[in-house]
Amino acid sequence: MANGSSPDAAHRAHILENPLRTYLLGIIISICGNVLISISLNIQKYAHVRQSQRGSKPYYTSGTWWCGVALMGFGELGNFAAYGFAPASLIAPLGCVSVIASAVLSVVFLKETVRASDIFGGTLAITGTYVLVNFAPHTTIHITAHLVQYYVMNWHFLLYLLLEMLLFCFLLYLYKMRNVKHIVIVMLLVALLASLTVISVKAVSGMIAESITGQLQLIYPIFYIMGVIMIVSCAFQIKFLNQAMKMFDATEVVPINFVFFTTSAIVAGIVFYEEFEELALLNIVMFLLGCLLSFLGVFLIARNRPKIKLQNPNCISMDKIPRRSHTDRVQPEAQTYGPLAAKLMCNRAGQSDDA
């Protein structure tokens, strides 16, 4: 290092700058991205409902559905960019904004019922978001390739990575070899992968932002290494999350995934990017309190949400089946399938469509 300074002091010079405008920009981008994601989810849900009621073409032929997909892409891009401007331990808890906005939009546009738990949960989540934004670490890190390399070689991160790999292998053994299909096992696998995703996303996003300002970072191998880690970890994270959605109800997966993902992202930010260093004890306690309020709010909003019952176009409602008088000739089909059998066949067809 120049002037014989220690590596720690030289790299810390990149960390201690605190431009409030950049910090607020990251928060605004993250909130806007999460709102776009919630809008996209409701648009896609509306397209599913409409196509199912019509019973004509698949949902992916609908322009409305593709509009929702495009909005989700913009929302995820906003979250990706936000990691380059604000701490990861702050951006991850802001995911509760998507849950709150989705609940509001589902009531306004999909005519879902407002429950007392929705109002109370939304209040808790908004309060928690306000608290954690005010007490979160405000340090803005200017990510460079040399800084990422420095963080990667820190002994505490290497120890953290080793423990995470051992825990991941143990959970994967229980899940695959011992056939332990518990929701906590699956969501822990997702959370462990999410920690690597958060670390790599912030590194890639930060280096791209730094390159735009004039200091090109794309010529260093660490940029592409982090890009590969981001893509691979995100792909396997989505794989396990989809498996969880198939095995368990969404009202269980959504709050547990939010809690585990947020916790994993906060720990990753603390260990890898040292975001809680020199943070006052009061700030740490209040930040954790804000996260706890957000967790409780998301749990209350997602708990026992009413499901939209889609009418199966392959089935005929029982009240529309014409009744046979005693003078009518009995057809072979009527002898084979009575009203009870017809109802069972309708339920079976509905189960096959859901699968």
Q: Is the pLDDT of residue 265 over 90?
A: yes
Which residues are CB-neighbours of 17 under 8 A, at least 6 positions away? 139, 140, 142
Q: How many CB atoms lie within 10 A of CB 327?
A: 5
Lowest-pLDDT range of 54-63, 93-102, 178-187, 196-205: 54-63
Under the banding of pLDDT at 50, 70 and 90, the label for residue 269 is very high
More confident residue, 44 or 349: 44
- pLDDT at position 169 is 97
In a domain, 48, yes or no: no
In a domain, 127, yes or no: yes
Under the banding of pLDDT at 50, 70 and 90, the label for residue 23 is confident
pLDDT tens-digit readout, 56-66: 677 677 788 88
Under the banding of pLDDT at 50, 70 and 90, the label for residue 45 is confident
In a domain, 200, yes or no: yes
- pLDDT at position 321 is 45
Closest CA to 140 of 70, 79, 197, 90: 90
Under the banding of pLDDT at 50, 70 and 90, the label for residue 226 is very high
CA atoms of 35 and 44, how far apart (whole Å): 14
More confident residue, 23 or 196: 196
More confident residue, 110 or 146: 146
More confident residue, 300 or 304: 300
Nearest-5° Cα angle at 73, 67 to 78: 130
CA atoms of 11 and 16, how far apart (whole Å): 10
In a domain, 110, yes or no: yes
Q: Is the pLDDT of residue 310 over 60?
A: no
More confident residue, 306 or 91: 91
Sign of CA dihedral 282, 283, 285, 286: positive
**Rounded mean pLDDT of 6-29?**
64
- pLDDT at position 320 is 45
- pLDDT at position 294 is 95
More confident residue, 44 or 280: 280
Predicted structure pTM score = 0.78
Residues 147, 141: contact at Cβ < 8 Å?
A: yes
Mean pLDDT (the chain, rounded)? 81
Q: Is the pLDDT of residue 242 over 80?
A: yes
Q: Is the pLDDT of residue 343 over 80?
A: no
Give a three-class secondary structure readout of the chain. Answer: CHHHCCHHHHHHCCCCCCCHHHHHHHHHHHHHHHHHHHHHHHHHHHHHHHHHHHCCCCHHHCHHHHHHHHHHHHHHHHHHHHCCCCCHHHHCHHHHHHHHHHHHHHHHHCCCCCCHHHHHHHHHHHHHHHHHHHHCCCCCCCCCHHHHHHHHCCHHHHHHHHHHHHHHHHHHHHHHHCCCCCHHHHHHHHHHHHHHHHHHHHHHHHHHHHHHCCCCCCCCHHHHHHHHHHHHHHHHHHHHHHHHHHHCCHHHHHHHHHHHHHHHHHHHHHHCCCCCCCCCHHHHHHHHHHHHHHHHHHHHHHCCCCCCCCCCCCCCCHHHCCCCCCCCCCCHHHHHCCHHHHHHHHHHHHHHHHC
Under the banding of pLDDT at 50, 70 and 90, the label for residue 51 is confident
Residues 204, 230: contact at Cβ < 8 Å?
A: yes
- pLDDT at position 347 is 46
In a domain, 201, yes or no: yes
Residues 205, 127: contact at Cβ < 8 Å?
A: no
In a domain, 236, yes or no: yes
Residues 259, 183: contact at Cβ < 8 Å?
A: no
Nearest-5° Cα angle at 298, 277 to 24: 45
Q: How is residue 267 written in tokens?
A: 């720990």
- pLDDT at position 251 is 81
Residue 285 half-sphere exposure toward CB, CA atoms < 13 A: 3
CA atoms of 39 and 108, how far apart (whole Å): 11
- pLDDT at position 313 is 42
Lowest-pLDDT range of 55-64, 73-82, 93-102, 175-184: 55-64
In a domain, 56, yes or no: no
What's the domain count of the chain?
1
Under the banding of pLDDT at 50, 70 and 90, the label for residue 200 is very high
pLDDT tens-digit readout, 134-178: 999 887 778 999 999 999 999 999 999 999 999 999 999 999 999
In a domain, 281, yes or no: yes
Under the banding of pLDDT at 50, 70 and 90, the label for residue 2 is very low
- pLDDT at position 1 is 39
CA atoms of 87 and 133, how far apart (whole Å): 11
CA atoms of 70 and 75, how far apart (whole Å): 9
CA atoms of 222 and 206, how far apart (whole Å): 12
Residue 183 structural domain: 87-304
